[in-house]
Amino acid sequence: MTTPLSILDLAPIAPGQTIRESFAASVALAQAAEKHGYERVWYAEHHNMPTIASSATSVLVGHVASQTSTIRLGSGGVMLPNHSPLTIAEQFGTLAELYPDRIDLGLGRAPGSDQTTARAMRRDPRASDQFPQDVMELQAYLRDESIIPGVRAVPGAGTNVPLYILGSSLFGAGLAAALGLPYAFASHFAPDSLFEAVATYRRDFQPSAQLAEPYLMVAANVIAADDAADARAQFNTMRLSRVRSMISRGPAAPDYSDEQIEAFLTTTEGRRLADMMRYTAVGTPSDVRIFLDDLATRTQADELIVAHASQGIDARLRSVELTAEAMAGVTV
């Protein structure tokens, strides 16, 4: 692949699918990614979302790692303010000992949930303010250089699991630059600050023990199919599903029909939500390559991380294959 390509797997639970089936799909996706030359697969921490199964992120990483051989796996990301740095060092240290040189630790500061769920997790509302300090504490545990006297991460100490800062704003870009860490921008759902964040990260980057030069990952959604009309139909299904999930949270939320969602998308708020999917490559392999090459060129990304957004696992696996072949310049 011209630009290294990775996958963000949201571990979706499709209509009519069980959680167990979702996990099996994630294993199949990672195996396909490994076969087709992707760099890594990451899983995101979300809570109380009926369509996403990756809430216990480190557990899912371990499960998938046990059924793959070489591909890197990790979090994209763990929402660190939900946890103590020591706990995450121990969890990912365990993974690193079991699967050496295969584990990444991407970190975010959002709750990965709504406010009610955050309270149920006993999250301190002020925890996000401590994110930079928590990242440094976590990094110190993994280096076996604990900044808390008498406390050592076992497992974890000395594993040096590589850290990545995830973000969708200038805050994450600035923090990644200051700490000399790789930066992954969540443009697959929060595109507005992409170019300003990229500029901030590259301008302010300070070399570190982990990284001598900036390393930028940019995210996009992808739906690749053999037929362009099929890809567009899959995209429309995905778009309706995502918008429905964003406006239908809570036990008393209405069950909106597709027609109601389509009508909502014509409103100002609907258009705003639809624009969150601005960076979505949809179409045949050549269409997808043109889109991703342009995104990589405009951002000067060192790596693209893509969320294959087809609802069905068979279509998702085909998208994984077609995208890899297209980006490698193979005729499909």
Enumerate the domain spans of the chain: 5-235+279-328
Fold of the 5-235+279-328 domain: TIM Barrel (3.20.20)
Per the DSSP assignment, residues forming a β-bridge with 129 are: none
Query: pLDDT-derived band of residue 38, with 50, 70 and 90 as boundaries?
Result: very high
Mark residue 106 as left, alpha or beta (left: phi above 0; alpha: psi -120 to 50; beta: remaining): beta
Average pLDDT of every residue of the chain = 94
The confidence score (pLDDT) of residue 119 equals 80
CA–CA separation, 282 vs 230, rounded Å?
10
The confidence score (pLDDT) of residue 255 equals 82
* DSSP state, residue 47: -
The confidence score (pLDDT) of residue 330 equals 47
- Which range, of 125-139, 167-181, 290-304, 314-328, averages the lowest pLDDT? 125-139
Mean pLDDT of 213-241: 97
Mean pLDDT of 7-35: 96
The confidence score (pLDDT) of residue 329 equals 63
Does residue 332 register a pLDDT over 50? no
The confidence score (pLDDT) of residue 260 equals 93
Degrees, nearest 5: CA angle 61-242-237: 105
Per the DSSP assignment, residues forming a β-bridge with 8 are: 42
Digit-coded pLDDT (tens) for 163-196: 999 999 999 999 999 999 999 999 999 999 999 9
